Amino acid sequence: MQTIISPSILSADFANLERDVKLVQDNGADWIHVDVMDGHFVPNITIGVPVVKSLKKITDLPLDVHLMIDNPDKYVEPFANAGADILTFHYEAIFSSQNILDLIKKIHSFGIKCGISIKPKTSPEVLIPYLDIVDMVLVMTVEPGFGGQEFMSDCAEKIKFIKQVAPENLIIQVDGGINEKTGKICKEFGANSLVAGSYIYKSSDIKKAIQSLKY
Ligand code: DX5
Ligand code: ZN
């Protein structure tokens, strides 16, 4: 299976977002990764529902929305209606397993894919009860909040465990500090989707950068 490449627009120029989305779309991107931060769950504030709604009008690529927010259940409907195709929430933002199951059900009720993400300090074992019902697991290899941080290789080890216990068709995505070298490590461990912000957008040859992650 070819690796799904999801460039993070956090590293794009927000004053030229349409241009920068098309730039990766025309150069082999599979999805568009949208980092939503609320200033509570993570220390940074980025973008929200109106931006997703606008992006939907200018690209046909699936919008891979990464919710780094508290109370994600409150925002499922607005993001789904705005055009999110994959909605990923953080395990650490929900306080009971029943609530996690309800949230997964809610996301699926809009006919979109559901992802569950873990921060660097969270053990992959906590995901076991959900692996058969989510579409994607997102392993963070930096502390969520900012682009351009250094890849934490010990976090990537978690992919191996997830790959061993997960159903064959589960999408295992990695986010944080991904470049040609670290992406390769993650793929060897079993990742089949890579998010990359600064590596792609700071590259002088976007096509080459995306291809270097894909194959
Ligand atoms: C970080 C975000 C990432 C970020 C990745 O909290 O979830 O998606 O944009 O940026 P790079 O690829 O620069 O580490
Ligand atoms: Zn992200």
The pLDDT score that the predictor gives to residue 2 is 87
The pLDDT score that the predictor gives to residue 31 is 99
pLDDT in tens, 95-153: 999 999 999 999 999 999 999 999 999 999 999 999 999 999 999 999 999 999 999 99
Question: Is there a catalytic annotation at residue 85?
Answer: no
Q: Of all helices (H) and strands (E), which one includes residue 140?
A: strand 136-140
- Which pTM value belongs to this model? 0.98
Q: What residue spans define the domains of the chain?
A: 4-214
pLDDT in tens, 22-51: 999 999 999 999 999 999 999 999 999 999
Which residues are bridge partners to 63 per DSSP? 32
pLDDT beyond 90 at 68: yes
pLDDT beyond 90 at 213: yes
- Residue 167: pLDDT band (50, 70, 90) is very high
Q: What is the mean pLDDT of the chain?
A: 98
Distances (CA, A) of 130 to 37, 53, 98: 24, 29, 11
Query: 176: left (phi > 0), else alpha (psi -120 to 50), else beta?
Result: left
Pocket of ligand 1 (CB under 6 A): 8, 10-11, 33, 35, 66, 142, 144-145, 147-149, 175-178, 195-199
Query: Rounded to an integer, what distance in angstroms lies between the CA atom of residue 89 and that of residue 140?
Result: 12
Closest by CA position to 213, among listed 197, 204, 118:
197
**Distance in Å, CA 105 to ligand 2 centroid:** 22
| Contact criterion met (CB below 8 Å) for 165 and 128 | yes
Give the position of tokens 């997960």: 166
pLDDT beyond 80 at 1: no
pLDDT in tens, 176-206: 999 999 999 999 999 999 999 999 999 999 9
Name every residue whose Cβ is closer than 8 Å to that of residue 190 and which is 6 or more positions away in sequence. 159, 160, 162, 163, 172
Nearest atom of ligand 1 to the alpha carbon of 37:
6
Name every residue whose Cβ is closer than 8 Å to that of residue 99 and which is 6 or more positions away in sequence. 73
**Distance in Å, CA 136 to ligand 2 centroid:** 13
As a CATH number, domain 4-214 is: 3.20.20.70
The pLDDT score that the predictor gives to residue 159 is 98
Number of residues that this document lists for the chain: 215
Query: 190: left (phi > 0), else alpha (psi -120 to 50), else beta?
Result: left
